[in-house]
Amino acid sequence: MNPIRRHELTNDQWQRLAPLLPPQRCPVGRPAHDHRTMLNGMLWIDRTGAPWRDLPDRYGKWQTVYSRFRRWREAGLWDRILVALQRDAADADELDGDLAMIDGTNIRAHHHAAGAKKGAMTSHWAAAAGGGGANSTS
């Protein structure tokens, strides 16, 4: 087996996650790719921020890894894993509720996305136009 790379699951992490994943497909027909390899590929994408197409070959075809990621997302697997890991951490008194969050990003929407009236001028442009409405001559 290849050595564990710094961004891949450790053996302890894998032993914790493996029971939470769906059963590996039976060995009839084309062999299924190993869940651990697929999950490590997903983690590589997450940690590097690279496009799926740039996934290193050691994780398999990017389409296969992405397809499994998408299927697991649509099946709600990621939510169930998060709940299980949080429950275990809380049971072991390792979860600090003040620090447990997924994302706190705020992005300011453009004024058009915030329900501004169509054709309304912003205060900056209204001042430059003399404060009046749209002018036209026939």
Q: List, for residues 26-77, the tens digit of each pLDDT value.
A: 666 667 789 999 999 999 999 999 999 999 999 999 999 999 999 999 999 9
Rounded distance, CA 49 to CA 68, Å?
Answer: 18
Residue 93 within any structural domain of the chain: yes
Residue 43 within any structural domain of the chain: yes
Per-residue pLDDT, 110: 73
Look at the chain and report how many structural domains it folds into: 1
Rounded distance, CA 41 to CA 50, Å?
Answer: 11
Residue 76 within any structural domain of the chain: yes
pLDDT grade, residue 131 (50/70/90)?
Answer: low
Instruction: Give the helix ranges, DSSP H, for the chain.
Output: 11-17, 35-48, 62-74, 77-91, 123-128
Residue 41, both tokens: 């590929």
Residue 1 within any structural domain of the chain: no
pTM for this structure? 0.64
Q: Count of CB atoms within 10 A of residue 72's CB?
A: 19
Residue 21 within any structural domain of the chain: no
Find the mean pLDDT for residues 5-34: 84
Residue 9 within any structural domain of the chain: no
Residue 75 within any structural domain of the chain: yes
Amino acid at 47: R
Nearest to 71 by CA among 100, 101, 32: 32
Residue 59 makes CB contacts below 8 A (sequence gap 6+) with: 37, 38, 40, 41, 44, 65
45: domain range? 34-97
Rounded distance, CA 35 to CA 20, Å?
Answer: 11
Residue 127 has pLDDT above 60, yes or no: no
